[in-house]
Amino acid sequence: MTATIIDGKAFADGLGQKIAGTIPAFEEQTGRRPGLAVVLVGTDPASEIYVRSKGRMARKLGMVSFEHVLPETTTQDELLALVARLNADDRVDGILVQLPLPKGLDSLAVIEAIDPGKDVDGLHPISAGRLASGLPGLVSCTPLGCIMLLEATLGSLAGRDAIVVGRSILVGKPMAQLLLARDCTVTIAHSRTSDLPAKVARAEIVVAAVGAAEMIRGAWIKPGATVIDIGTSRVERDGHRKLVGDVEFDAAATRAGAITPVPGGVGPMTIMTLMHNAVLAAHRRAGLPDPVIFERED
């Protein structure tokens, strides 16, 4: 068996076209375009690249991008004051504060200060609570992208056995909630899970989100299972640095029915689901119906 490769880049490109297609009607009805504010504190090179790419994508799709780059010396009060101004700015529909923040700043306090209606990262406790309660809200970007890929690959997920390896508030927990909401039977595994290979081997859907290079071995994968690999790690291989996921890809691909590669799988979806959330937030703030951007094919 050779697994079908789930092409996250191609899917994200298609999603981007649909997002861009919602902008003209929104502008006609509101007199403005959706606005996304991205806040970067400090000069972390990776974060700088992410912020630039998010702003560039927002503009490409027809939105307005507000980029705030603050010095490393920014205080907690100064950052919270900026968030308060963005909350009050009617041009801004979505606010994303790039994490991690420099030492000395309280990330949780900053996240809690964001208006939940503008929380396009889906990290506010109210956003998490609405997800757990089955209420509409903004959902964390990476899990949202994963659920889209799963539904595009499998159609209905109802009744399937799924395992999420990883329990972070960023990915693992919201991923499990999204699967539960689609009537999967969900196991959440973590560093203290006993006999992890046996638990993975029972699952029809495996979502790997631990950040440990190739920790999930290919031999663990149930034949025909669908594997979503969220992890990214750089390893030395044949004298070169290589990007790998949490799953032993080559071995898993001989057993799985479908699998995301690293890179090119989940990664491209994360930025596009951020754009999806910004457009969704804009419509909700304007009192307009949710735009139809993604519909699974059963």
191-222 pLDDT, tens per residue?
889 999 999 999 999 999 998 999 999 999 99
At 27-84, the pLDDT tens digits run 999 999 999 999 999 988 888 888 899 999 999 999 999 999 999 999 999 999 999 9
Q: In sequence order, what E strands does the chain have? A: 4-5, 35-41, 64-70, 94-97, 161-165, 185-189, 205-208, 226-229, 233-237, 240-244, 258-259
Whether 238 shows a pLDDT value over 80: the answer reads no
pLDDT category at 296 given cuts 50, 70, 90 is low
Residues 6+ apart with CB under 8 A from 145: 8, 12, 266, 269, 270, 272, 273
Catalytic residues: 54, 98, 121
Distance CA 2, CA 255 (A): 7
pLDDT category at 298 given cuts 50, 70, 90 is low
pTM for this structure?
A: 0.93
Whether 249 shows a pLDDT value over 90: the answer reads yes
With beta carbons less than 8 A apart as the criterion, state whether 258 and 224 touch: no
Predicted pLDDT at 297 = 61
Query: What domains can be seen in the chain, in order of their start residue?
Result: 30-116 (3.40.50.10860), 141-268 (3.40.50.720)
Predicted pLDDT at 191 = 82
Distance CA 227, CA 217 (A): 12
At 218-235, the pLDDT tens digits run 999 999 999 999 999 888
Who wins on pLDDT, 48 or 116?
116
Distance CA 38, CA 23 (A): 19
Main-chain phi, psi angles of 265, to 5 degrees: -105, -95
What H or E segment, with its residue span, contains residue 179?
helix 172-181
With beta carbons less than 8 A apart as the criterion, state whether 39 and 95 touch: yes
Neighbouring-strand partners of residue 187:
163
Predicted pLDDT at 49 = 86
